[in-house]
Structure 1
Amino acid sequence: MSALVCVARIGAAHGVRGAVKLWTFTEDPFAVRRYGPLSTKDGRRQFEIAQVREAKDHLVATFKGVATRDEAERLNGIELYVAREKLPATDEDEYYHTDLIGLAAVTTDGDALGRVLAIHNFGAGDIIEIAPLKGPTMLLPFSNAVVPEVDLEGGRVVIALPQEIEGDDEGDAPSTGRPRLVRKAQEGGDP
């Protein structure tokens, strides 16, 4: 069975004709229409988008077979998935979060460091979260300087540890494993 990637989450009902708020986790919010039917993680239910329009910070969508507010309200909170192979190919130094999560993290000397737990972006650039073999979780910039190599086929990322490492704070957001693209920042370039 193919790996599934979460591309959207259904929110609250919108109006009285079966529309819902739709929170997408794709670079282009309207890309969810291009993947065909979306399914629940267990694959038991499928949803086909009939109409979609942009709203302030989300989409408003209707699904085929959902015509009333009551039906729409029952969908609140459902995450929608597609098969990994339906997602477009990535460019060089560009990765889907889902492809990085779980990779082994090793130092530039080849010593085992831990595993990639998540990729975050709190507004100042992408951060790679490493769950080390021992010690606190590490949050590091996802840049060429700190992550000089990503070897998806080999199942690892190489980490050039900076002099000081900030640990995980209790208030950090949990991993969502979303399929947004993350691009490694070039040295001296914008994050």
Structure 2
Amino acid sequence: MQLVVGRIGRPHGVRGDVTVEVRTDDPELRFAVGATIATDPADRGPLVIESRRWHKGALLITFAGIKARDAAEDLRGTMLVIDSAEVTPSDDPDEFHDHQLIGLTVVTASDEAVGEVTDVLHHGQDLLVVRRSGQDDALIPFVRALVPEVDLEGGRLVVDPPEGLL
């Protein structure tokens, strides 16, 4: 599975630098000089990071072969992606990456099928988006009281929802 770690924004200057909207918690690792990074759409890459610097809170990157503003403009909107296999698993048994949760089957504590996790939203409170057959999606707060078990190997997630949540 591909994970987005950045999105190329507008060009900066006339020499091919671009702004990058960072979508990773480790930009120093993901955007290291000399690193090759895949793109979405794939035909715009892979791109090799020639240089990078922070400027007024924005990450500026120069990619090898992109030497003019017009070439940089052509990359605008391109997603920078990595394979989920490149993400180091957490040592904390209660910490999960979004890509680990997406696709898990959701069942209640009494083993009733609920649906499948299709997304994880981060809006102050982490919310699991659960697609339910023939019904609207459910939003379930990702807290231990409501999600007592996450079984990655078994491909399932157990929820204990209060009355009316589902």
Q: Does the TM-score normalized on the shorter chain lie above 0.5?
A: yes
Note the C-alpha offset of 1:86: 1.6
Partner residue, 1:72: 72
Secondary structure of the corresponding residue to residue 95 of structure 1: coil
Residues 158 and 43 of structure 1, relative CA distance in 2, 3 Å threshold? same
The CA RMSD measured in Å over matched residues stands at: 2.0
Aligned equivalent of 1:33, options 13, 31, 34: 31
TM-score, structure 1 as length reference: 0.77
Partner residue, 2:107: 106
Whole-angstrom CA distance in 2 between matches of 1:164 and 1:131: 17
Q: Which amino acid aligns with 1:54?
A: W
Whole-angstrom CA distance in 2 between matches of 1:145 and 1:72: 48
Whole-angstrom CA distance in 2 between matches of 1:125 and 1:70: 41
Question: For residues 165-188 of structure 1, what are the alpha-carbon distances to aligned partners after superposition, in whole Å with 9 as ceiling and x for unaligned?
Answer: 28xxxxxxxxxxxxxxxxxxxxxx
Output aligned runs, 1:80-159, within 5 Å. 80-91=80-91, 92-122=93-123, 124-159=124-159
Q: Which amino acid aligns with 2:133?
A: L
CA contact (8 A) 1:8 1:32 kept: no
Whole-angstrom CA distance in 1 between matches of 2:56 and 2:152: 36
Partner residue, 1:24: 22
What is the aligned-residue identity percentage? Answer: 35
TM-score, structure 2 as length reference: 0.87
Whole-angstrom CA distance in 1 between matches of 2:65 and 2:49: 10
Point out which structure has higher relative CO (alpha carbons under 8 A, 6+ apart): 1
Residues 58 and 146 of structure 1, relative CA distance in 2, 3 Å threshold? farther
The gaps in structure 1 that reach 5 residues or longer are: 167-191
Note the C-alpha offset of 1:83: 2.0
Aligned residues: 163
Whole-angstrom CA distance in 2 between matches of 1:144 and 1:55: 40
Whole-angstrom CA distance in 1 between matches of 2:70 and 2:157: 47
CA contact (8 A) 1:4 1:41 kept: no
Q: Which has the higher strand share?
A: 2
